[in-house]
């Protein structure tokens, strides 16, 4: 879920260079302005644009709701939808294919040491959008 103001970026950008816009991922925030276009949306933990939430408790409380919002609000590629629908195996395949694709910050996951496997948070309940939208 994107959080920002309706003002222009130049008016909102803090003087210290901190991001003025972020996407709530449930377990942390993505500060990459073009998050919707990022090929690494499901493998954020070591990206320079990723900011983890301060506590595990907050992570667990918000994860279910925010993952559902992401699923409903962001158009997913076929590979991302398969990762959500089919679980760990599809996500591992997606991460393996992205191993040598540069992240928004520049280095590839291989260069920054992201493993080609991920641990999924349990999704207790999902709400599907009607097909054809």
Residue 123: what pLDDT?
57
Neighbours of 81 (CB within 10 A): 13
Residue 18: what pLDDT?
58
Q: Specify the pTM.
A: 0.34
What confidence category does residue 15 fall into, taking pLDDT thresholds of 50, 70 and 90?
low
Sheet holding 22-24, edge to edge: 2-3, 22-24, 28-30, 50-52
Calpha distance 84→91 (Å, rounded): 8
Q: Provide the strand spans (E) within the chain.
A: 2-3, 22-24, 28-30, 50-52
Average pLDDT over residues 44-69: 61
Q: Among 14, 74, 69, 25, which residue's Cα sits nearest to residue 49?
A: 25
pLDDT tens-digit readout, 74-112: 777 888 777 767 665 666 677 778 788 888 888 887 787
Residue 3: what pLDDT?
46
């Amino acid at each position: 879920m994107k959080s920002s103001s309706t003002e222009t970026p130049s008016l909102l950008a803090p003087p210290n260079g901190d991001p003025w816009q972020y996407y709530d991922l449930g377990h942390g925030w993505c500060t990459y302005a073009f998050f919707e276009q990022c090929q690494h949306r499901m493998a954020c933990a070591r990206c320079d644009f990723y900011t983890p939430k301060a506590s595990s408790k907050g992570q667990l409380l918000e994860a279910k709701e925010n993952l559902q919002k992401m699923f409903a609000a962001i158009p997913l590629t076929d590979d991302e939808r398969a990762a959500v629908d089919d679980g760990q195996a599809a996500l591992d395949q997606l991460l393996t294919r992205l191993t040598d694709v540069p992240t928004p910050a520049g280095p590839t996951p291989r260069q920054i040491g992201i493993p080609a496997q991920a641990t999924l948070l349990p999704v207790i309940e999902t709400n599907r959008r009607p097909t054809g939208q």
